[in-house]
Amino acid sequence: MCGGCRNRGRCRLGLGEITIIGDAAHAPVRCAPHFQAGPNVAHGGWTAAMFDDIIGRSLTQRGLRTVTGNLTVDFFNPVPVGEAMIVEVVTESRAGRRWTMQAMLRLERDPSPLARAIGVWVERREGHFERHEAAMRDYRAR
């Protein structure tokens, strides 16, 4: 679970446990009603955040310490609110610290993709978050 939900013990995005199979992964997801945009349709930001979290956590579960470098989402069809869906993640390639990942969102019982994400995750250098904290301390002291 991400840092925002860990203490609550519940993923507010509605994302389930990730299963890793080799360099691929899948997870059950369900868009919560508070992320509705159009009638019974998920906000595009939910879909992007869901992909970001699932792909990032799938890498974490594989023992990799990464951050999202970039993320592009193609929206093929409206994403329903409250419906059981599946995200499937594959590793496209790796070059040095860069991991190119792709993921698909679909309904639980239908193989047609609703949305696709492609992006690059970069393995963090040691002290990544400490450097960020120090930079923010400097900024606030200005």
C-alpha span between 80 and 4 (Å, rounded) = 24
Q: Which residue has the tokens 């599946």?
A: 86
Q: Is there a contact between 18 and 59 (Cβ–Cβ < 8 Å)?
A: no
Using rule CB under 6 A, residue 63 touches ligand MFK: no
| 68 in contact with ligand MFK (CB under 6 A) | yes
- Distance between start and end Cα atoms, the chain: 34
Interacting residue with ligand MFK among 46, 56, 79, 102 (CB under 6 A): 56
Q: Of 63, 96, 130, 140, which one interacts with ligand MFK (CB under 6 A)? A: 96
Give yes or no for residue 116 binding ligand MFK (CB under 6 A).
Answer: no
CB 14 within 8 A of CB 31: yes
Min. distance of Cβ 57 from ligand MFK in angstroms? 5
Burial degree of 60 (CB within 10 A; 0-12, 13-18, 19+): middle
Cβ(106)–Cβ(30) under 8 Å? no
Only one of the segments 8-16, 26-34, 68-76, 104-112 lies at the binding site for ligand MFK (rule: CB under 6 A); that segment is 68-76
Give min distance, CB of 46 to ligand MFK, in A.
Answer: 14
List the one residue from 95, 109, 139, 141 that touches ligand MFK (CB under 6 A): 95
Residues that bind ligand MFK (CB under 6 A): 2, 52-53, 56-57, 60, 67-70, 95-98, 120, 122, 124-125
